[in-house]
């Protein structure tokens, strides 16, 4: 059976309907899950945003991975939930992505809400610290994150650290 296009850059018409979410520990990712999430991260951070860092940074092994797939199995949304102590003392989320075709449809908000719900269940009573692209500060503030400290440059993009206290 032909596999879905790993990175849905071209518009699948109509726009993706309901998204099917999977929350998987690194060791439980299928080969196609790993391929698709690395392809999407690479398409967005390396190609679209031209970030000069090694995306598979070794932290993935200490993460949960949230994959949102469309009706044809295409990966439409992704983030990773980082264990406390792996990146920060607190838990974290990162590599927050919606496929370019799905931007502005509300999927990003759905993705972060789903990710935080899963993190709160996986790590009850644990705070989250993130390094957010600065222009998204209001987006993350809507989920209870507050800026800590000032802006800094990371991968040539202004970033800000944000903290969400333990629920
Ligand atoms: C950030 C991202 C996940 C948002 O996904 P999305 O599907 O566009 O999000 P939604 O349609 O749910 O929009 C939610 C909110 O995101 C914010 N937002 C999205 N893109 C934005 C941008 N370029 N600048 C400022 N705010 C933006 C807005 O607050 C928007 O709310 P509004 O529609 O009420 O204005 C998506 O743009 C993306 O994948 N970007 C590339 C990867 C990236 O930069 N990730 C973030 C790393 S910190």
Q: Identify the structural domains of the chain with CATH numbers, from first to last.
A: 20-122 (3.40.630.30)
Over its length of 167 residues, how does the chain's per-residue pLDDT go in tens digits?
446 666 666 554 445 578 999 999 999 999 999 999 999 999 999 999 998 889 999 999 999 999 999 999 999 999 999 999 999 999 999 999 999 999 999 999 999 999 999 999 999 999 999 999 999 999 999 999 999 999 999 988 999 999 999 98
Residue 17 pLDDT: 78
66 lines ligand 1 (CB under 6 A): no
Q: How far is the CA of 104 from the centre of ligand 1 (A)?
A: 7
Pocket test for ligand 1, best of 104, 161, 162 (most atoms within 8 A of CB): 104
Q: How far is the CA of 1 from the centre of ligand 1 (A)?
A: 33
Give me ligand 1 centre to Cα 140, in Å: 10
Q: Rounded to an integer, what distance in angstroms lies between the CA atom of residue 16 and that of residue 106?
A: 11
Question: Rounded distance, CA 101 to CA 105, Å?
Answer: 9
- The per-residue pLDDT for 167 is 84
The reported pTM is 0.92
CB 37 within 8 A of CB 9: no
Residue 96: the pLDDT is 98
143 lines ligand 1 (CB under 6 A): no
Instruction: State the Cα–Cα distance between residues 24 and 12, nearest whole angstrom.
Output: 26
Q: Is the CB of 126 under 6 A from ligand 1?
A: no
Nearest CA to ligand 1 atom 29: 139
Q: Quote the tokens at residue 39.
A: 């392809």
Count other Cβ atoms within 10 Å, centred on residue 37: 23
Q: Which residues contact 41 (CB under 8 A, 6 or more apart)?
A: 55, 78, 95, 97
Atom of ligand 1 nearest to the CA of 110: 12
Whole-number pLDDT of residue 163: 98
């Amino acid at each position: 059976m032909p596999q879905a296009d790993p990175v849905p850059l071209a518009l699948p018409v109509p726009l993706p309907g309901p998204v099917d979410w999977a929350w998987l520990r690194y060791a439980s990712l299928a080969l196609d899950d790993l391929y698709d999430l690395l392809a999407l991260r690479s398409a967005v951070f390396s190609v679209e945003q031209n970030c000069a860092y090694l995306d598979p940074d070794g932290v993935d092994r200490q993460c949960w991975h949230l994959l949102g797939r469309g009706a044809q199995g295409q990966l439409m949304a992704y983030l990773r939930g980082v264990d406390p102590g792996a990146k920060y003392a607190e838990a974290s989320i990162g590599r927050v992505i919606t496929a370019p075709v799905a931007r502005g449809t509300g999927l990003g908000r759905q993705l972060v809400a789903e990710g935080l719900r899963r993190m709160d269940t996986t790590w009850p009573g644990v705070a989250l610290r993130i390094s957010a692209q600065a222009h998204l500060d209001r987006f993350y503030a809507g989920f209870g994150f507050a800026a800590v400290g000032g802006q800094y440059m990371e991968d040539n993009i202004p970033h800000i650290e944000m903290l969400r206290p333990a629920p």
